[in-house]
């Protein structure tokens, strides 16, 4: 039985652009794009996990908004169950500490990136909701 990993992803939208980060070398899924976030700790809400993870990984603060979707994807290292939420930056500008790159994209540009499989359903929903 594969390991079950509960994670959260932040869909940060600013001025009509959506924030994405690229996984760095030496990590699982190197070079793939994802919404920033990470593992939910025991006894932690998804919202609190997002706030903590973005403070740790991107040195910024967010307000967590509406839930988007939860998807599961089985990888070789385990099954990732990803819950995504719209978020708003409230303090700081995202800075890379763990990822290889960051981009702000118009919703219709999201499909041009090589997304981690667990993120793809959320990407499709976001494009449908936000693209002109």
49 vs 59: CA distance, rounded Å: 14
Per-residue pLDDT tens for 21-70? 999 988 888 999 999 999 999 999 999 999 999 999 999 999 999 999 99
Mean pLDDT of 113-129: 96
The residue behind tokens 């070789």 is 76
pLDDT at 1: 59
pLDDT at 77: 87
Please state, in angstroms and as integers, the Cα–Cα distance from residue 13 to each residue in 36, 42, 55, 104, 105, following that order: 12, 28, 17, 9, 9
Per-residue pLDDT tens for 92-118? 999 999 999 999 999 999 999 999 999
pLDDT at 15: 94
pLDDT at 109: 96
pLDDT at 67: 98
Mean pLDDT of 10-29: 94
Specify the CATH superfamily of domain 4-130. Answer: Nucleoside Triphosphate Pyrophosphohydrolase (3.90.79.10)
Buried/exposed code over 62-90 (b: 16+ C-beta within 10 A; e: otherwise): bebeeebeebeeeeeeeebbbbbbbbebe
């Amino acid at each position: 039985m594969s390991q079950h990993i509960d994670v959260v992803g932040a869909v940060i939208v600013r001025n009509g652009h959506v924030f994405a980060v690229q996984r760095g070398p030496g990590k699982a899924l190197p070079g793939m794009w994802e919404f920033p976030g990470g593992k939910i700790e025991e006894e932690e809400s998804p919202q609190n996990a997002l706030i903590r993870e973005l403070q740790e990984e991107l040195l910024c603060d967010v307000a967590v908004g509406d839930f988007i979707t939860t998807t599961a994807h089985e990888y070789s290292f385990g099954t990732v169950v990803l819950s995504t939420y719209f978020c708003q930056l409230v303090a700081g500008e995202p800075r890379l500490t763990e990822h290889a790159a960051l981009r702000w994209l118009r919703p219709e540009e999201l499909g041009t990136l090589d997304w981690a499989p667990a993120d793809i359903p959320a990407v499709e929903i976001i494009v449908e909701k936000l693209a002109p």
